[in-house]
């Protein structure tokens, strides 16, 4: 059981201290552990222990508890339980909270104050799907703001279209439409329309139909890959939307995909430390970028996860967090 009374500060001596920060209500201070799911608590307890081996301590909290380089309150893993702490001074922030135009300013403040992983410009590029398209237009299906006119033009040209939030993750709010009778967008600045990619497949991996191939990059190293396949009667491959996850070795990744990943890495080479994924769909042998993600979930205690595959990736994340704390 976690401590029910908040401790004043964190005794770290020469240790650096990094806050792992989440979005609204993901971490709640009125319970005895940071997360509702026990497996998530277990994974971030392990992140803490791995970082302590490198003289970096960790607290977990919500981004609204942060102010000017300090955490008003947070949770800390003691090695046997979660304790509550208050008024702790930070050496860095690992950004795991959702991104939008308003939060960009907060992340800029974090960057100038204590340092943040990822850089706000990386988070903005990855989380704003319109900016992603404008940065990599050759490799992303045609994407526009979802005005009535734009949606109609995409449907007339391609027959099907995807509507998706401009900012978003986990496949939330994504749907396929085939005629304007399905159009119900209230704010075209916040929703995008994208060409629907037909005939998706990866024959060398035995994949037919919708999918995405996720490549994990930490700094300038490709460290892992896996396939996500939609559930029955769905085009959404996100595990949160019922998709399945299949780990594959980097040697199995098609060469064209690795080439595109290198181009993305070259574009982001000015940023370090940096963590992101590049999601691909392959059609007629050509890889298309589906999206970039600056907040990939890397852990192995959760359902459908593999310690054999993901724990080495966690070590790479730890490398990046250590670099943030000690620079």
pLDDT in tens, 31-82: 999 999 999 999 999 999 999 999 999 999 999 999 999 999 999 999 999 9
| pLDDT at res. 95 | 97
**What average pLDDT does this structure show over 84-113?**
94
Q: Which two tokens stand for residue 75?
A: 């949770």
pLDDT of 241 higher than 50: no
Tokens of 318: 């730890």
Q: What is the mean pLDDT of residues 129-158?
A: 96
> What are the strands, taking DSSP E only, across 166-274?
175-177, 191-195, 201-202, 207-208, 212-218, 221-229, 244-247
CB 126 within 8 A of CB 276: yes
Which tokens sit at 124?
Answer: 């903005």
Q: What are phi and psi of 142, to 5 degrees?
A: -45, 130
State in Å, rounded, how far the first CA of the chain is from the last one: 35
Report pLDDT for 7: 58
Structural domains of the chain sorted by starting position, each given as residue range(s) with its CATH number in brackets: 6-117 (3.40.50), 124-133+199-316 (3.30.470.20), 142-195 (3.30.1490)
Tell me: the pLDDT tens digits for 266-315? 999 999 999 999 999 998 889 999 999 999 999 999 888 999 999 999 99
Task: Name the nearest CA neighbour of 75 among 44, 99, 54.
Answer: 44
pTM of model > 0.85: yes
Residue 251 burial by Cβ neighbours in a 10 Å radius (0-12, 13-18, 19+): exposed
pLDDT higher than 60, residue 151: yes
Q: Give the containing element (helix H, strand E) for 315.
A: helix 307-326
């Amino acid at each position: 059981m976690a401590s029910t009374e908040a401790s004043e500060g964190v005794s770290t001596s020469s240790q650096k201290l990094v806050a792992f920060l989440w979005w609204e209500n993901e971490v709640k201070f009125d319970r005895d552990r940071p997360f509702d799911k026990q497996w998530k608590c277990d994974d971030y307890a392990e992140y803490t222990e791995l970082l302590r081996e490198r003289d970096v301590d960790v607290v977990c909290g919500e981004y609204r508890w942060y102010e000017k380089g300090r955490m008003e309150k947070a949770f800390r893993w003691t090695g046997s339980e979660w304790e509550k702490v208050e008024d702790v001074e930070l050496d860095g922030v690992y950004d795991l909270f959702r991104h939008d135009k308003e939060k960009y300013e907060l992340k800029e403040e974090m960057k100038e104050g204590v340092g943040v992983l990822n850089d706000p410009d990386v988070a903005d590029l990855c989380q704003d799907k319109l900016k992603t398209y404008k940065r990599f237009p050759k490799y992303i299906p045609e994407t526009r703001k979802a005005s009535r006119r734009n949606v109609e033009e995409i449907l007339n040209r391609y027959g099907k279209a995807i509507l998706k939030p401009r900012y978003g993750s986990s496949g939330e709010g994504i749907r396929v439409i085939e005629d304007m009778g399905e159009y119900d967008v209230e704010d075209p600045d916040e929703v995008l329309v994208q060409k629907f990619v037909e005939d998706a497949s990866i024959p060398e991996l035995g994949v037919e139909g919708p999918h995405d191939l996720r490549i994990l990059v930490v700094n300038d190293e490709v460290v892992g890959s896996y396939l996500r396949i939609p559930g029955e009667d769905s085009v959404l491959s996100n595990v949160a939307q019922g998709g399945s996850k299949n780990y594959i070795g980097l040697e199995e990744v098609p060469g064209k995909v690795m080439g595109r990943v290198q181009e993305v890495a070259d574009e982001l080479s000015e940023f370090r430390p940096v963590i992101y994924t590049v999601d691909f769909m392959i059609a007629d042998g050509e890889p298309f970028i589906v999206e970039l993600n600056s907040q990939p979930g890397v852990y192995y205690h959760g359902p459908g996860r593999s310690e054999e595959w993901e724990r080495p990736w966690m070590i790479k994340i730890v490398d990046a967090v250590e670099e943030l704390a000690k620079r």
